[in-house]
Amino acid sequence: MFAYVRRRILISIPVILGLMTLVFFLMHLLPGDAVTAMLTEYGASAQDQAQLRHNLGLDRPLLVQYADYMEHALRGDFGRSLFSHEAVTSQILTQLPATLQLAFASMLIAIVVGGGLGVVAALRHNSLADRLSMLLSLVGVSMPGFWLGIMLILLFSLRLGWLPAAGSGSLKQLILPAIALSLGSIAVLSRLVRASMLEVLRQDFVITARAKGLHQRTVVAGHALRNALIPVVTFIGMQFGYLLGGAVITETVFARQGIGQLAVGAIQQRDMPLVEGTVIFVGIITVVANLAVDLVYAAIDPRIRVTS
Amino acid sequence: MPATNSSVALALWGELFRGRLSRRQLLARGAQLGLSAAALGALARSPLVAAAEQGKPGGKLSIALRRDFETLDPGVNSDASDGIFLMAVFDRLVERTPDGKLYPGLAQSWSVSPDGLAWTFKLRQGVKFHDGTPFNAAAVKANFDHIADPKTKSEYAVFELGPYAGTDIVDDYTVNVKMTRKYGPLLAGLATYGMGMSSPAAIKQYGANLGQHPVGTGPYRFKEWVQKSHATVVVNPDYNWASGREAHNGRAYLDEITFDIIPEDATRLAALKSNQVQMASNVPPADWKKLADGGKFTTEKILQEGYPPAGAFINVTKFPTDDLKVRQALIYAVNPDEINQVVYEGVAAPANGIISTFAWAYDKDSAIYSYDPDKANALLDEAGWKMEGGVRKKAGKELQLVYLTLTTVKDAAEVVQAQLQNVGVNVSILAEDNPAQQADAQAGKHNLVWTQWEGVDPADLHKIFGSENIGTGWNFAHYSNPQVDKWFDEGEAETDQEKRRAIYNQIQQTIMQDAAFIPYNNVTNLWGFAAGLAGTNVIDELGSAPQIYDIYWNKP
């Protein structure tokens, strides 16, 4: 098992390095560079721009910049933001807690609500409850997160005054954004759980369990649910990886800190070290999330065992 | 029963006392309500009015801003909206108001040598940085050297410093700032937020991290900056002076100020309305107009100096706008009033020239165009473009323009597109975001490109209309005129303001005659405040934000 994990991690290193290379050259295909992005209000003479580009090292040949960056990165030095001059690592670490909070909170809501809806829908297959759950799910996935976020603010912050409109420090500030963000996941999860449960409930071993006289709750929770979980675990793992990459729209609407808007801002500003830093970070998260998903499979399904 | 002079005056004074009106607004309202001239005069001179205006110390304030700070090192920063913080935590050698008037800041007096190569500043004494370091000549030298150092990678201050050659310390409170050539705009440059003086001890201690640890001499001290979330400053109780451009001197009023970063317009406004913050920047025009109704909020409209103001550069090298008559026709065909009404709800003010109409260097004789579609039609006919079924044609080609714009001002582009269609010009809109839009403008892919520039001195026009700035610089009109280039050099070398004015008048008139720019509007920054907040009408040096130094709570 340990060897398996180690092998997976080793394989992911060239993947992340390749990702960094791809991003570096893709970014340079975009028009404009950091200096163009910096000087959007006062303008600057051609000479001044050339001077600033030189100071920032942006006038060196592309391959030289690439080699210089990679050499530092491999030694763990991810450089400083071209704009704020702050170390990239510390910027990412500052934005991380808010992202973690939002990802966990919205995932929790999605699992509880989405999972609950899915189970209810499967157990009461084809009933009104089933149809309603699926309708709710359709509405949830169709609503634009941007619009929903603002609606929640207008209702709960402005009209009712129950919750703050913006910010990322406190629990109260987490509630609305977590709800807004969870809707998409609730929609998908409820359908996934429902479909998975329906399939499992038809299986022989469920009929056997019922025939043994087991309580409905034991059948569902103890046997059916566990088997239904496999596609759900896949989804949760991948969704979590995506969420940790940052939910940009939710973060922007609710004025939250987060990796998403850090990354998007860095791309818009052509802030190369910061872009690469967030790419590495998201890459690592994705690798870890995929690995975790595989390990959880093994834990819940004895038929799937990892071999080294 | 008609209201008498005295009852109206009393009601207005009450509004002033409750902080809902500034003195200026009070007099305007009084005139509107029909107060006699004598009554207005008495009201203005009333000691009660003077007493009501005296700020009361104490209280906290939360301000919602649209964007996080780029860096808190003024020597590096190039984002004008960070000025609200940098003006409060730092002082500058020179202070200025947007009409060009200069005030003594950390420098009490200054003079320039006859050859123009050395500026002598006599510094204010008894000032300390927030970390206790004394402010003196060594501090000034440390700051200018920090700004000029390539390792600092200054994005704005270094350009305002001009042809800087070094600083000599004459004595503890006198410096000679040396230039490699004569440079008239230096004093205006020294008054920009980029020239805030940092503690030399902090510069040394923090190095590249100075941007997260600002230490100035200003009326507020830095407490913390949680990136993308908020920054906090607390009052500096030892602050005991002011330059004269402010409304008071000595200690600032508010005890603590938090800047909350809320990028989304609707969320920022909701935060103001739900009292999560008490002051908000960039209120959308439609909301801003209604905000003061009901008395719970007040508003300010701050005019921002532009060199040029918002408008469209005309690419003078690209067909068909390489024809002077076509360019002139375009300016006559555009109606800035309509743009102002449709896009800005009438809140911006139409511009008419390459400089904001209220800046000191503005030349009203350069305003040679007005909205005149008949003249536009006549010029296009003269240029050989004949109207055929709604669009003009010449030698089989349609009169077709490419209009490059930012996605955020696409609506202005659409208004202009319709206005130009009326005179038979076909416009296709290319909407991009920065920095792509700037890169394409440099490459000259457009006939028209929307832009707006801030600035504090007409010398900034050199970056915009000087021929060496085509292609790699910011000359989006691709305008090249050797006579104008010469005038730019003369204008920069001249230090007498009236002589400079004459030179820049010629530049403005020539560029407008050559029809290189279509003026749309003066830029306005719209702010909203909780009622009870007073002193919000003193603005910073270029017109982007109120000075928080003069703001106080005026609740009964």
Helices A225-244 and A172-201 meet at what angle, rounded to 10? 140
Instruction: State mean pLDDT over B71-90.
Output: 95
CA B137/CA B167 separation, integer angstroms: 9
| Side-chain half-sphere exposure of B200, counting CA atoms within 13 A | 13
A252 CA to chain B: closest CA distance, Å? 6
Q: Which residue has the tokens 């009408």?
A: B537
Instruction: Inspect the interface and report whether the beta carbons of A55 and B153 lie closer than 8 Å.
Output: yes
Instruction: Inspect the interface and report whether the beta carbons of A45 and B469 lie closer than 8 Å.
Output: yes
Pairing of strands B397-398, B391-394: antiparallel
A contact residues 197-256, partner B, Cβ 8 Å cutoff: 252-256
A49 CA to chain B: closest CA distance, Å? 7
CA B236/CA B17 separation, integer angstroms: 26
Residue B1 scores a pLDDT above 50? no
**In this structure, what DSSP letter does residue B172 have?**
T
Contact list, A254 vs chain B (CB under 8 Å)? 264, 267
CA B122/CA B134 separation, integer angstroms: 15
CA B46/CA B373 separation, integer angstroms: 51
Give the per-residue pLDDT at B9: 58
Contact list, A85 vs chain B (CB under 8 Å)? 71, 73, 76, 153, 208-209, 211
Cβ–Cβ < 8 Å for B274, B76 = no
CA A298 to chain centre: 23
Instruction: Inspect the interface and report whether the beta carbons of B229 and A169 lie closer than 8 Å.
Output: yes
Q: For residue A61, how many other CB atoms are within 10 A of its CB?
A: 8
Contact list, B268 vs chain A (CB under 8 Å)? 166, 255
| pLDDT classification of B11: cutoffs 50, 70, 90 | low
The tens digit of pLDDT for each residue in B261-308 reads 999 999 999 999 999 999 999 999 999 999 999 999 999 999 999 999
Instruction: State mean pLDDT over B426-432.
Output: 96
Per-residue pLDDT tens digits of chain A, which is 308 residues long: 778 888 888 888 898 899 999 999 999 998 889 998 888 888 789 999 999 999 999 999 999 999 999 999 989 899 999 999 999 999 999 999 999 999 999 999 999 999 888 888 888 888 888 898 888 888 888 888 889 999 999 999 999 989 998 988 899 999 999 999 998 889 889 988 888 888 888 887 778 877 888 777 777 777 777 777 878 888 888 888 788 876 889 999 999 999 999 999 999 999 999 999 998 888 888 888 888 888 887 777 777 665 54
Least confident piece of the model among A133-142, B99-108, B399-408 = A133-142
Give the per-residue pLDDT at B19: 46
Q: By the CB < 8 Å criterion, does B469 face chain A?
A: yes
Task: State yes or no: cis peptide before A177, omega within 30 of 0.
Answer: no
Phi, psi of B435 (to 5 degrees): -85, 5
CA B153/CA B75 separation, integer angstroms: 9
Residue B357 scores a pLDDT above 60? yes
Contact list, B434 vs chain A (CB under 8 Å)? 32, 36-37, 40, 268
Q: Which amino acid is at B447?
A: N
Domains of chain A with CATH codes? 88-307 (1.10.3720.10)
Residue B502 scores a pLDDT above 90? yes
Q: By the CB < 8 Å criterion, does B296 face chain A?
A: no
Residue B349 scores a pLDDT above 70? yes
Own/partner pairs for A204-211, CB < 8 Å, 24+ apart?
none
CA distances from B432 to A268, B38, B99, B254, B474 (A): 12, 56, 34, 41, 17
* ipTM beyond cut 0.90: no
Instruction: Inspect the interface and report whether the beta carbons of B80 and A42 lie closer than 8 Å.
Output: yes
Instruction: Inspect the interface and report whether the beta carbons of A41 and B436 lie closer than 8 Å.
Output: no
Q: By the CB < 8 Å criterion, does A31 face chain B?
A: yes
Cβ–Cβ < 8 Å for B510, B481 = yes
CA B275/CA B292 separation, integer angstroms: 15
Cβ–Cβ < 8 Å for B91, B218 = yes
Of B76, B228, B440, the CB nearest to A95: B228
Give the closest residue to B195 by CA, choosing from B302, B116, B78. Answer: B78
Contact list, B79 vs chain A (CB under 8 Å)? 41
Which string of DSSP letters, residue by residue, matches B484-504?
HHHHHHHHHH---HHHHHHHH
Of B152, B156, B267, the CB nearest to A166: B267
| pLDDT classification of B50: cutoffs 50, 70, 90 | very low
Q: Helix, strand, or coil here: B101? A: coil
B contact residues 404-433, partner A, Cβ 8 Å cutoff: 433
Q: Which amino acid is at A167?
A: G
Give the per-residue pLDDT at B40: 58
Contact list, A180 vs chain B (CB under 8 Å)? none
| pLDDT classification of B47: cutoffs 50, 70, 90 | very low
Instruction: State mean pLDDT over B213-225.
Output: 98
Joined tokens for residue B301: 């409209």
Greatest mean pLDDT range, A173-187, B90-104, B132-146? B132-146
Q: Which residue has the tokens 């043994």?
A: A212
Pairing of strands B94-96, B297-304: unpaired
Contact residues for B286 (Cβ-Cβ < 8 A; gap 6+): B345
| Side-chain half-sphere exposure of B414, counting CA atoms within 13 A | 7
Instruction: Inspect the interface and report whether the beta carbons of B267 and A255 lie closer than 8 Å.
Output: yes
**Max CA pair span of chain B:** 76
| pLDDT classification of B125: cutoffs 50, 70, 90 | very high
Q: By the CB < 8 Å criterion, does B181 face chain A?
A: no
Task: State yes or no: cis peptide before B308, omega within 30 of 0.
Answer: yes
Of A31, A169, A253, the CB nearest to B439: A31
Joined tokens for residue A297: 């499979």
Residue B391 scores a pLDDT above 80? yes
Strand intervals (E) in B263-341: 279-280, 297-304, 310-314
Instruction: Inspect the interface and report whether the beta carbons of B227 and A257 lie closer than 8 Å.
Output: yes
Give the per-residue pLDDT at A308: 40
CA A201/CA A224 separation, integer angstroms: 6
CA A190 to chain centre: 19
Interface probe with B: pick from A40, A53, A250, most Cβ of B within 10 Å: A40
A contact residues 159-198, partner B, Cβ 8 Å cutoff: 161, 164-169
Give the per-residue pLDDT at B4: 54
Give the per-residue pLDDT at A298: 75
